[in-house]
Copies of this chain bind each other. A is one copy, B any other.
């Protein structure tokens, strides 16, 4: 039985409303996952994420493997207990970080050999070790180890890479069948199950294929044959134009089953998220709300603003009058600008909180409007106002 329950489809688009059940609770879709790379969503307290009703966060396998190390997470019985977060966690496979951070790396059929970016130590990340690490982290959703090709990517490279991703997915499937529920040679003790004792760690396959429609189709079909708990669309948000990003989704979605969750990795802007929801994507993760926050950018319904600008020097209004909360809305734009100009840590805190509230509210509104049958109107109105030049 699938862990994803489809509650409703929009009558005007592929937009969907559903529930993904995990060992640490349900995730309503469409939804957004704040990024907690190293076991913390930057600047925020876990209680604040609960206030914001974040239903799931993302942890990065590569980073957690290096620090605090599996040895420490083993002591705590997993990341939930270590970081004091009792809701669902999704972990990536670690592959993407190896490609982007490790100084020297070599892709072989066995896996990826790399020198880690902290102390240069030579390590192997393979389909099996990635899953073993994720089992030790004790995430509710583990991602299958894949190769994420760069953009642009030659056809010949994309063909080989997509086949490698499929081969690795087969090895992952074998590992899961051999190891679950005893998973985690690093010593995981927290294969927490839900009240019915029926939900173990879930595993999502990742559709690759770069910009090539037939490769996307083949990748999706190969993975679906392996019967994962959900499917991600990978190889997006790697520098391609928005048009290519949308096409990658269009070329993948038709071959994914209705009763499994779809996850578009590492994106995007608020309007991109709504467009993706229209196309039938269920969950998202992106560093944008928290990373831009640390650079002084606040999301508003009239588009992003840079709070450091001189124009806000005397501005007594809140960041965004339409997105209120009890944590940031009492502060003026002028005060938050002052905090940024004086490099005060509270600055990034307030903007991170606000921006995540913006993204999570966007997803909550999407759910409400799908339910009410008004999602396409909502998307159009939101997008028109967001993109309007002030």
Write the nearest CB–CB distance from A40 to chain B, whole angstroms: 5
Q: Is the CB of A67 within 8 A of B332?
A: no
Q: Which residues of B contact A345 (CB under 8 A)?
A: 42-43, 345, 348-349
Q: Which residues of B contact A71 (CB under 8 A)?
A: 314
- Of B43, B82, B327, B338, which contacts A346 at CB under 8 A? B43
Q: Which residues of B contact A335 (CB under 8 A)?
A: 39, 68, 82-84
Given contacts A330-B84, A338-B67, contact A344 B42 (CB under 8 A): yes
Q: Is the CB of B42 within 8 A of A75?
A: no
State which residues 36-80 of A face B: CB under 8 Å. Answer: 38-40, 42-45, 47, 63, 67-68, 71-72, 75-76
Whether a CB of chain B sits under 8 angstroms from the CB of A156 is: no
User: CA separation between A281 and B348, bound complex, in Å?
Assistant: 37
- Of B40, B327, B341, which contacts A344 at CB under 8 A? B40
Whether a CB of chain B sits under 8 angstroms from the CB of A316 is: yes
Whether a CB of chain B sits under 8 angstroms from the CB of A334 is: yes
Whether a CB of chain B sits under 8 angstroms from the CB of A151 is: no
Whether a CB of chain B sits under 8 angstroms from the CB of A101 is: no
Write the nearest CB–CB distance from A133 to chain B, whole angstroms: 16
Q: Is the CB of B334 within 8 A of A82?
A: yes
> 1/0 contact trace for A294-331 toward B, CB 8 Å?
00000000000000000001101000000000010011
Write the nearest CB–CB distance from A116 to chain B, whole angstroms: 14
Q: Which residues of B contact A316 (CB under 8 A)?
A: 75-76
Q: Is the CB of A334 within 8 A of B76?
A: yes
Given contacts A45-B327, A316-B76, A342-B38, contact A68 B334 (CB under 8 A): yes
Write the nearest CB–CB distance from A311 to chain B, whole angstroms: 13
Q: Is the CB of B331 within 8 A of A84?
A: yes
Q: Which residues of B contact A44 (CB under 8 A)?
A: 346
User: CA separation between A259 and B313, bound complex, in Å?
Assistant: 43
Write the nearest CB–CB distance from A229 to chain B, whole angstroms: 29
Whether a CB of chain B sits under 8 angstroms from the CB of A339 is: yes
User: CA separation between A10 and B75, bound complex, in Å?
Assistant: 49
User: CA separation between A27 and B165, bound complex, in Å?
Assistant: 65
Given contacts A83-B335, A327-B45, contact A314 B346 (CB under 8 A): no
Q: Is the CB of A39 within 8 A of B72?
A: no
Q: Which residues of B contact A331 (CB under 8 A)?
A: 84
Q: List 10 A-B contacts (CB under 8 A).
A: A39-B335, A40-B344, A43-B346, A47-B327, A68-B338, A71-B314, A75-B334, A76-B332, A82-B338, A345-B345
